Amino acid sequence: MGQKKPQVVVTRKLPDAIETRMMELFNTRLNVDDTPMTKADLVEAVKQADVLVSTVTDRIDAAVLSQAGPNLRLIANFGAGVDHIDLATARQRGITVTNTPDVLTEDTADMAMAMILAVPRRLVEGEHVIRQGKWAGWSPTWMLGHRIWGKRLGIIGMGRIGQAVARRAKGFGLSVHYHNRKRVHPEIENELEATYWESLDQMLARMDVISVHCPHTPATFHLLSARRLKLLQPHAYVVNTARGEVIDESALTRMLVKREIAGAALDVFENEPAVNPKLVELDNVLLLPHMGSATIEARVDMGEKVIINIKTFVDGHNPPDRVLASML
């Protein structure tokens, strides 16, 4: 006789192939019209589910978890970042949390690299000129941006994605600098020809481009504070594909408005999907709607990871991508 299938509640629409496989393997409740769940929906979901498949748009805080039914044993997050889940409360209640690292590394790094190139070379501005019918023809001194080759890139957070960005940056002739809680292995440092800065403040003051790749945790909230942003050189660019909360968005916006730094490329924001309206008015800023891992390949692979995490967990094993509060 087969094992009883777990009740799995999926909070958002996932790729078809993933949903179909989940329907085969588990008692799955899908969200086919993809309406983001309200707090009340989430409470209902945690009451019913053995396993909750969450995404970045679900705020699974202590208030939600306090209403979880006795059966909720696993939150299998679709995504690498877990800052929307109260991990401490989950642990207290004996709920395991898993995520989907690795499979989105290369795509997110591609997006970061594209953003590192796009603002200094004014890609979006140029495109707008043509679409608005304002191109009067080539001129030797018009639409000049800044060279990337030979400049210094400061990476904040040298984990998987930070390293993948560093490899790309090397190919574009950038010299790689980084700040991380821990210095990475000398072999990796050598391969990337990367310079470690124990002091983030010192690194910020010397870089041409800063790219953020650390998770959002209590320790990294507003890591790029108003004070630290002031350390940047006036010709510096800031790129963020990690989490909006790592940068004080209001302070960054004020500096961009006053042209105290050269520009920014942001794929993530403090209050998504809201974007500071002042940012939208600026031409030295590229704004993207949290698209870092948005390839069909990444989203299918993320779904596969979710399935593997659930399957191993319900079969009584440690799921491969357990998130431990001590990792953060």
> Is residue 162 a contact residue for ligand 8YV (CB under 6 A)?
no
Question: Cα(41)–Cα(55) distance, rounded to whole angstroms?
Answer: 14
> Could you identify the residue written with the tokens 């302070």?
251
The sign of the CA dihedral 151, 173, 182, 243 is: positive
Question: Cα(137)–Cα(89) distance, rounded to whole angstroms?
Answer: 60
> What is the distance of C-alpha 6 from the center of its chain?
30
> Is residue 96 a contact residue for ligand 8YV (CB under 6 A)?
no
Binding-site string for ligand 8YV from residue 103 to residue 122, where x marks contact by CB under 6 A and - marks none: -x------------------
Select from 30, 51, 72, 79 the one that contacts ligand 8YV (CB under 6 A): 79
CA distances from 296 to 18, 34, 239, 291, 303 (A): 11, 16, 23, 11, 10
In whole angstroms, the minimum distance from the beta carbon of 281 to ligand 8YV comes to 26
Select from 18, 80, 97, 207 the one that contacts ligand 8YV (CB under 6 A): 80
Closest CA to 161 of 236, 217, 211, 219: 211
Judge whether 42 and 67 are in contact, CB under 8 Å: no
In whole angstroms, the minimum distance from the beta carbon of 242 to ligand 8YV comes to 8
10 or 72: whose CB is closer to ligand 8YV? 10
Question: Cα(182)–Cα(159) distance, rounded to whole angstroms?
Answer: 10
36 or 69: whose CB is closer to ligand 8YV? 36
> Is residue 56 a contact residue for ligand 8YV (CB under 6 A)?
yes
Which residue in the list 243, 245, 270, 299 is annotated as catalytic? 243
Half-sphere exposure of 128 (CA within 13 A, CB side): 9
Q: Is-catalytic flag, 243?
A: yes
Question: What three-state secondary structure class fits 287?
Answer: strand
> Is residue 55 a contact residue for ligand 8YV (CB under 6 A)?
yes
Which residue in the list 24, 272, 281, 297 is annotated as catalytic? 272
Binding-site string for ligand 8YV from residue 121 to residue 160, where x marks contact by CB under 6 A and - marks none: ----------------------------------------
| Segment interacting with ligand 8YV (CB under 6 A) among 78-86, 110-118, 202-210, 258-266 | 78-86
Q: Which residues bind ligand 8YV (CB under 6 A)?
A: 55-56, 78-81, 104, 292-293
Which residue numbers are catalytic? 243, 272, 290
